Amino acid sequence: MTERGRNSVERSRDTLAIGDSSMRWLGDKLVIDIEERAIWLGCPVRPVVRGQVVVEPEVWSGQSFALDPARNHHWRSMAPRARVRVEMERPELSWRGSGYLDGNWGSEPIEDGFADWHWSRAHLGKEAAVLYEGVRRDGSRFATALRFDGSGRAHEEELPLGAPLPPTRWLMGRRTRADRGHARVVRTWEDSPFYARSAVASRLFGKDVLAVHESLSLDRFKSPIVQWMLPYKMPRRP
């Protein structure tokens, strides 16, 4: 997560390299090599995060979705279900389990299109569920509940009830949806002034699930104070 200049970026049909980190397709596997620096008092220091992540999709999906009427922003769940292997050298740890792969792209900065959004993904046996909702920059709201079947095809479901969640330590609001309108934060993995990622337990489409959940406040992200703080957290190109 280091800002870099154009000369530090390389892209081909199967590979994207940014600085010393890269991702590349090897057959049906996505191999992600990580070599990132920490930052102290605004200055990068020696590499402290190094390792490899391998994502093997179990189910592919070719469907993409426009998130705004002007179609400036799109989202696609490429692999609603995947197997993931993590092997880190620094810190020394490893992990294997179930995962997911998606992507967003657009023709304008994301903060120009949205005020906030809230997203979650959960496994439902051999299927997967994705909930997406937020507020666009013009004040209009959007919300979608998708269920991906075993072949990777997305089916739009009736929206579950809104389920409030407690704010983060930075007092950022977050919300989700669930059967009977009840959900519980099990653990928050990442908590920043404008972004949070958590594990959320709920009941969804008749099944008890443990979902990966994220909330993003673009109003906070674009605020002058957060923009001033970012270089102290993430190495920034001069």
Q: What is the per-residue pLDDT for 226? A: 92
Q: What is the per-residue pLDDT for 71? A: 95
pTM over 0.75: yes
Region for 186 from its dihedrals, namely left if φ exceeds 0, alpha if ψ lies in -120 to 50, beta otherwise: alpha
Q: What is the per-residue pLDDT for 105? A: 94
Q: What is the per-residue pLDDT for 231? A: 74
- 3-state secondary structure labels for all residues of the chain: CCCCCHHHEEECCCEEEECCEEEEEECCEEEEEEEEEEEECCEEEEEEEEEEEEEEEEECCCCEEECCCCCCEEEEEEEEEEEEEEEEEECCEEEEEEEEEEEEEECCCHHHHEEEEEEEEEEECCEEEEEEEEEECCCCEEEEEEEECCCCCEEECCCCEEEEECCCCCCCCEEEEEHHHCEEEEEEEEECCCEEEEEEEEEECCEEEEEEEEEEEHHHHCCHHHHHHHHHCCCCCC
Q: What is the per-residue pLDDT for 36? A: 86
Q: Within 10 A of 68 (CB to CB), how many other CB atoms are there? A: 17
Low-confidence residues of the chain: pLDDT under 70: 1-2, 39-44, 46-47, 235-238
Angle made by CA atoms 122, 216, 148, in degrees to the nearest 5? 25
d(CA 168, CA 226): 16
Q: What is the per-residue pLDDT for 190? A: 95
Q: What is the per-residue pLDDT for 2? A: 65
Burial class (CB in 10 A: 0-12, 13-18, 19+), 12: exposed
